Amino acid sequence: MMDRRKFLYGAGIALLAIPTAARSQPVANSPRVGFLFYGAPGPSPELEAFRQGLRDVGYIEGQNISVEYRFANGQVGQLSALAAELVQLKLDVIVTPGTPASVAAKKATSTIPIVFAVAGDPVGTGLVENLARPGGNVTGLSGQGTDTTGKRLELLQEVVPGLQRLAVLAHVGSSYAALEMREVASMARPFGLDATLLEIRSAQDIAPAVAAVKGRVQALYVVTDTFAYVQRIRIHTVTLAAQLPTMHGFREYVEAGGLMSYGASFPDLWRRAAVYVDKILRGSKPSDLPVEQPTKFELVINLITAKALGIEMPPTLLVRADEVIE
């Protein structure tokens, strides 16, 4: 695990060492791709996976393709303005991660093709008309977040015997997070769980929300969206202090200190997003490219966090895990 993290960190630092202006310079007679990201510039396994995907289909940034980057630095309110900036550049394709950036890009243009690298529920959030025939100028890959809710609740019950009281943390400013929050609340009943919804709107809401349920619930389900992703270290710090085991949708949360996750592989989705970019640059229309589902799911467990919480992980669960961090 440490070797992988060191490699990705080193790769990110190497990429950052290249001056931003140089990396975004147009390459003569080459495609121009826009990249709208909710987070901040820095080492990113997802971004490196996308770049690797581009290399796999024959594109080398700075040689035969140029990329214009816009980072919102965790401020969802900046996405619309940044999307408008990219649209003014008359790019060939815009790539977005997550629902908020994808929605902002779709509102900014109905003509430039948009590829979302991952979206929890692209139909439910209005990004596409349906998965088979997206329609419009948007397509990409679904994270299938709401479809795996039941599996996450099942895993939580294995880890917390007698689990009855569950808190659900969600950023209500995200259309997708609101959808998954309702899905968790609905799915909790058949599992015999009483779900308390923690609706947050800013990073400052996280600590008070968790403090309000400390001692009243037995576990915390963190709804996955770009806001929660950017705030994953803060969420871990607060929940560990409250001695709450957490369930997440992706491994990156567990690498940041969360207890466990079950969901699609982010890097795998990002690599596959590059294939969509290639198809569009070769003449395919987004409306004709079906939204693909994840093909790789991962169960990741953080034993360091488990020990800090005093949790003894079931051996049968550890055997089924794709990765155990210790």
Q: Are residues 155 and 50 in the same domain?
A: no
92-to-61, 187, 262, 265 alpha-carbon distances in Å: 15, 41, 34, 27
Q: Domain range holding 206? A: 146-264+298-325
Q: Are residues 189 and 125 in the same domain?
A: no
Q: Are residues 252 and 277 in the same domain?
A: no
pLDDT in tens, 260-290: 999 988 889 999 999 999 999 999 999 999 9
Q: How confident is the model at residue 9 (pLDDT cuts 50, 70, 90)?
A: very low
Tally of domains in the chain:
2
pLDDT in tens, 84-138: 999 999 999 999 988 888 999 999 999 999 999 988 788 888 899 999 999 899 9
Q: Are residues 168 and 278 in the same domain?
A: no
CA angle 146, 150, 153 (to 5 degrees): 115
Q: Are residues 28 and 84 in the same domain?
A: yes
Q: Are residues 179 and 153 in the same domain?
A: yes
* Cα gap 71→83, rounded to integer Å: 10
Indicate which CATH number applies to the domain containing 197.
Answer: 3.40.50.2300
Q: Are residues 195 and 105 in the same domain?
A: no
Residue 20 has pLDDT above 60, yes or no: no
Q: Are residues 66 and 189 in the same domain?
A: no
Task: Say how many residues make up the chain.
Answer: 326
Indicate the pTM of the whole model: 0.78
Q: Are residues 286 and 302 in the same domain?
A: no
Structure token digits, residue 186:
């609905």
Q: Are residues 150 and 242 in the same domain?
A: yes
pLDDT in tens, 173-202: 777 788 889 889 999 999 999 999 999 999
Q: Are residues 108 and 226 in the same domain?
A: no
**Coil, helix or strand for 38?**
coil
- Distance between terminal CA atoms of the chain? 9
Q: Are residues 179 and 317 in the same domain?
A: yes
